[in-house]
Amino acid sequence: MSPDFPAFALSAEHEALRESVRALADDKIAPRAADIDRTGEFPMDVYDALVKADLHAAHIPESYGGAGADALACVIIIEEVARACASSSLIPAVNKLGTVPLLLAASEEMKQRYLPPVARGEAMFSYGLSEREAGSDTASMRCKATPDGDDFVLNGQKSWITNAGESQFYTVLAVTDPDGERGRNISAFVVEKSDPGFDFGEKERKLGIKGSPTRELHFDNCRIPGDRLIGERGEGLKIALRTLDHTRVTIGAQAVGIAQGALDYALGYVKERKQFGKAIAEFQGLQFMLADMAMKLEAARQMVYVAAAKSERGDADLPFFGAAAKCYASDVAMEVTTDAVQLLGGAGYVKDHPVERMMRDAKITQIYEGTNQIQRIVMARQLLKRK
Ligand SMILES: Cc1cc2nc3c(=O)[nH]c(=O)nc-3n(C[C@H](O)[C@H](O)[C@H](O)COP(=O)(O)OP(=O)(O)OC[C@H]3O[C@@H](n4cnc5c(N)ncnc54)[C@H](O)[C@@H]3O)c2cc1C
């Protein structure tokens, strides 16, 4: 093979990063995962450990005090944290989701104001797009930001917002021109937790990812200064959807991590558990299940990494690959975690083992940042417009 042949492999730096994140996750996060799931409390100790290791928002560029990790490094971080605890992986994932709108479209002054506190671990950033009546159909949102002198006044609500209440900063999408063209009448803003007129709903009682609070955002005549506008007025939905092209890749990574955690646990179990006088790993029916799980998981991982490289380069086909990676990896995560429960038999169904939690956690990856039906719409749209 020619020495010039480009390596189709992770760099040594990416491999080293994986090792260091896995060591931290095994040491500090995995032992806490069952308790985080049981109590449903935000894991502040995990947050502190991630901040200490500079893994909580590693995507923030060095010019804003961040680690400057590329998109592939970010997915490796999220994957390895999710392998131990899906709730905890939402710390780096949602910090990225909340701040990408600024990285894509905000003024330099705004980036200098909001990104360094996140990089330092002093603030988290959430992302408020969805509403009660506007989930898949984001353009039908009703939350309003009415111009008033130099300010905007927000009224309405946002639903399902991850890490709400814990985050200091929120990217919020709101209608600025109610009579304007659908989709082009929405703008993006930064809202701060301390802004008067801004409040939170009760925590949702969820199937999984219980250590990541999900709450509504409520705005009641919440006045914010005009310099909180991200990008141009009317460009908000475009910015929000471009953000998702990049961050869906991170949900794919979360799915891969959850599935890997379940497969690893099941592999250990089948070698130990004996029935009919031998380890259940010796039954070919189970070996075929394990092989299918690993094969699909590896395909999902490769797709997520390719999509991450496209995100880093800003390739034109990122919308297809971001949707495909999220959709495929999350479907695989649901399948692999369900099979892991099956491989443990009755033991898989109880909380003495982590695979039932992983199965519950996997489900959300098929739903948020656009359901997998919506991902298929995005993919089909991209295919049909190709010349
Ligand atoms: C735990 C959790 C955390 C979340 N975090 C965030 C967050 O941080 N920020 C944020 O903004 N949002 C967040 N969301 C919201 C999430 O993105 C939405 O729930 C999701 O986009 C689906 O919207 P919906 O729930 O209104 O479902 P609906 O849009 O009502 O969909 C219901 C069903 O109809 C299907 N459907 C809808 N339209 C079509 C169509 N055109 N063709 C085919 N099928 C269709 C959907 O796929 C789904 O199966 C979160 C949600 C959850 C549950």
Q: What is the pLDDT, as a whole number, of residue 4?
A: 66
Nearest to 158 by CA among 199, 105, 207: 199
Angle between helices 318-344 and 284-313 (to 10 degrees): 160
Calculated CA dihedral for residues 307, 313, 319, 325, nearest 10 degrees: 10
CB 53 within 8 A of CB 28: no
Spacing, Cα 3 to ligand 1 middle (Å):
48
pLDDT grade, residue 8 (50/70/90)?
A: confident
Nearest to 305 by CA among 13, 12, 82, 76: 76
Give the pair of three-digit tokens for residue 176: 């600025």
* C-alpha angle 240-242-244 in degrees, rounded to nearest 5: 75
Spacing, Cα 369 to ligand 1 middle (Å):
7
- pLDDT tens digits, 222-248: 999 999 999 999 999 999 999 999 999
Give the pair of three-digit tokens for residue 369: 């940042």
Measuring from atom 27 of ligand 1, which residue has the nearest CA? 135
- All residues at 6 or more sequence positions from 291 whose CB lies less than 8 Å from its CB, including other chains: none
Which ligand 1 atom is the nearest neighbour of the CA of 212?
A: 1
Measuring from atom 14 of ligand 1, which residue has the nearest CA? 160
Q: What is the pLDDT, as a whole number, of residue 37?
A: 98
Distance of CA 268 to the CA centre of its chain: 28
What residues are in contact with ligand 1 under a 6 Å CB criterion?
126-130, 135-136, 160-162, 206, 214, 364, 367-371, 373-374
Q: What is the pLDDT, as a whole number, of residue 303?
A: 98
Which ligand 1 atom is the nearest neighbour of the CA of 164?
A: 8
* C-alpha angle 38-91-326 in degrees, rounded to nearest 5: 95
Q: What is the pTM (predicted TM-score) of this model?
A: 0.97
Q: What is the pLDDT, as a whole number, of residue 3?
A: 60
Max Cα distance, the chain (Å): 79
| Residue 7 confidence (pLDDT) above 80 | no
- All residues at 6 or more sequence positions from 239 whose CB lies less than 8 Å from its CB, including other chains: 101, 104, 105, 188, 230, 231
- All residues at 6 or more sequence positions from 18 whose CB lies less than 8 Å from its CB, including other chains: 10, 76, 80
d(CA 72, CA 311): 9
Tokens 């929405």 belong to residue: 186
Q: What is the pLDDT, as a whole number, of residue 1?
A: 53
* Sign of the CA dihedral running 57, 230, 158, 371: negative
Q: What is the pLDDT, as a whole number, of residue 386?
A: 78
CB 139 within 8 A of CB 181: no
d(CA 280, CA 266): 11
| Residue 2 confidence (pLDDT) above 90 | no
Q: What is the pLDDT, as a whole number, of residue 237?
A: 98
> CB-hemisphere CA count at 13 Å for 53?
22
Mean pLDDT of the chain: 97
